[in-house]
Amino acid sequence: MSTRVPVQKTYKLYIGGEFPRSESGRTFDFNDAKGRHIANVSRGSRKDFRNAVVVARSAQKSWAGKSAYNRGQILYRLGEMVEGRRDQFIAELQQQGSSVADARREVDDTIDTLIHYAGWSDKYQQLFSTVNPVASPHFSFSVPEPTGVVALIAPQDSALLGLVNYLAPIIVGGNTVIALASDKKPLSAITFSEVIATSDVPAGVVNILTGYRSELLSQIAGHMDVNAVVYAGDNVEDRKTIQSQASLNVKRAIFSEKQSQSPYAILATQETKTTWHPIGL
């Protein structure tokens, strides 16, 4: 009997509902805690990012146009799909250095987070909308609307939960996102993109890149067609880069070291639109 050679997964990017390799053809090594080689991970380039922005931009309008209830259903579906792949996610987190208990907890929290934001999908608007008292014959009201295309620099230390913690509130609010996964622990993000691809999330709404943060940060922050950058981390130099580059098109630069389940996380990538409607005329 011959010995079977296991089929290894190729870790690729996720852009526009497809899994391309980096256009640059580059990869970087991912080794586990013991130094064993686990995978060649695609090393995304600024052109990959640009391509992702193009598809994210074209997907944004129809994603924001879906009913809030529908977006909630899709997020719920994401939770269901992660649940079905529990063992895979746990094993992968262990490869990236987590203990079994930590990995289990992280996957549980990831699913709970998705369900949490699925629930908020048609409720945060009520929480953050206002009717404004004005001294003229107008009915004035303000509602949150998605800011558009958001770039997310995901946390370095939390491969799965960290990503989902930031990603879910961005997309539930009708934004599309290009997420740069942790370059220290990139595997879970790509496996999570397989979940996205099978959960009725329209192509282009979530795009996930792997690559070096140091290489891509300035390009991400400077891109004129990105409306907001969410940076999960505490590196002062990185923040400086983002702030100076983000000023080019006055995009929102949102810095957050930790994120927990909260409707205010949704609000961070929303714009407030105020309408003045004449009355009594």
Partner 1 sequence: MVYGTKGYRFNSCRARQISVVTGELIMQASQQPYPNWQPSPAVDQVGVEERIARLNTRSIKKESKVQALKLALSMIDQTTLEGSDSAGKVKQMCYKALHVHDALPGLPHVAAVCVYPTMVRVAKAELKSSGIHVAAVATAFPSGQADHDTKIQDLRYAISEGADEVDMVISRGAYLRGEYNYVYDEIAEFKSICGDVHLKVILETGELGTLDRVRHASDLALAAGGDFIKTSTGKVQPAATQPVTLVMLEAVRDFHQRTGQKRGMKPAGGIKTAKQAIQYLVIVNETLGPDWLTPDLFRFGASTLTNDILMQLVKESTGVYQSSDYFSQAG
Cβ nearer to partner 1, comparing 71 with 223: 223
Kindly indicate which of the ranges 86-94, 97-105, 165-173, 241-249 contains the residues binding partner 1, using the contact rule CB under 8 A.
241-249
Non-local (6+) Cβ contacts of 82 within 8 A are 89, 107, 110, 111, 114, 192, 195
Site string for partner 1, 162-201 (x = CB under 8 A): ----------------------------------------
Q: Does 249 bind partner 1 (CB under 8 A)?
A: yes
Q: Does 58 bind partner 1 (CB under 8 A)?
A: no
Site string for partner 1, 217-236 (x = CB under 8 A): --x--xxxx-----------
Cβ nearer to partner 1, comparing 188 with 227: 227
Beta carbon of residue 45, minimum distance to partner 1 (angstroms, whole number):
12
Size of interface with partner 1, in residues (CB under 8 A)? 11
Beta carbon of residue 222, minimum distance to partner 1 (angstroms, whole number):
4
Q: Does 250 bind partner 1 (CB under 8 A)?
A: no
Q: Which of 13, 53, 74, 216 binds partner 1 (CB under 8 A)?
A: 53
Cβ nearer to partner 1, comparing 79 with 174: 174
Cβ nearer to partner 1, comparing 204 with 222: 222
Closest to 52 measured CA to CA, from 12, 81, 82? 12
Residue ranges binding partner 1 (CB under 8 A):
46, 50, 53, 219, 222-225, 245, 248-249
